[in-house]
Amino acid sequence: MKIVAFVPYWLDYRPNQKQHKNLKKLGGKYLINYTLRLLNKVPQIDQTYIYCSDTKVLDYLDDDTGYQYLQRPASLDSEDVAIEDIIDAFLAQVDTDIVVLIHPNSPFLQPETLRKCIDAVKFEGYDSALTALRFQKLSWFDDKPLNYSLDKPTPKPSTITPVIFEQSSVYVFKKDTYNEHRKRIGKNPFFNFIDHFEGHEVNTPDDYTIAELIVNSGMFWDV
């Protein structure tokens, strides 16, 4: 069973943005290299692809990381493009049984997390897997309480039904499942719950500042 990982990657396509988040350095390395080093540590993965429209991305990759560059259509660089459009284009170019889709903005993800997601799909009967965060807090959605009622006594935190958020960096799915539903999450997904430290995403300036503090504090275990 062939397992292929791919990293959809954008260079700067926002005209009013001084520097794209993917081109910022963290601890002296571009974010993409944290992701590549992570993928290189997972032996179940047969091939790793950087999926980008611009060969300039190669200037930001460390020489000691293993990957293949696959050029995608520039039309997929738009901010409005759906992730399904990118997956469609990738699967039209690469043959695989299982896909590991990973975004390059979670530098603290660990190899065991990926291995657990892959094993769930390959061996344990799940059609897809993803990293997720669990919040056991009083929550609201659409101007209404989500997991408690204002008509009843306020529940203790330990009794609240958790709210689950997709961590949005790692999705593992069978190609056949995706072709059937055109979704990276199937009908029987495995949720791999990780802590907030490992799941920290670098998307905003504040996220980057927090990530730098984590790296500089020595708390980060490099993959």
Each of the 223 residues of the chain gets a pLDDT tens digit; together they read: 999 999 999 875 444 455 566 677 898 999 999 999 999 999 999 999 999 999 999 999 999 999 999 999 999 998 889 999 999 999 999 999 999 999 999 999 999 999 999 999 999 999 999 999 999 999 999 999 999 999 999 999 899 999 999 999 999 999 999 999 999 999 999 999 999 999 999 988 999 999 999 998 877 766 5
Q: What is the pTM of this model?
A: 0.91
Give the DSSP letter of residue 188: S
Predicted local distance difference test score (pLDDT) of residue 181 = 92
CA 193 to chain centre: 13
Q: How far apart are CA 45 and CA 104, in angstroms?
A: 17
Strands 128-135 and 189-193: parallel
Q: How far apart are CA 201 and CA 215, in angstroms?
A: 14
Domains of the chain listed by start with CATH number: 3-217 (3.90.550.10)
Q: Which residues contact 159 (CB under 8 A, 6 or more apart)?
A: none
Q: What amino acid is encoded at 126 in this protein?
A: Y
Q: What are phi and psi of 30, to 5 degrees?
A: -65, 145
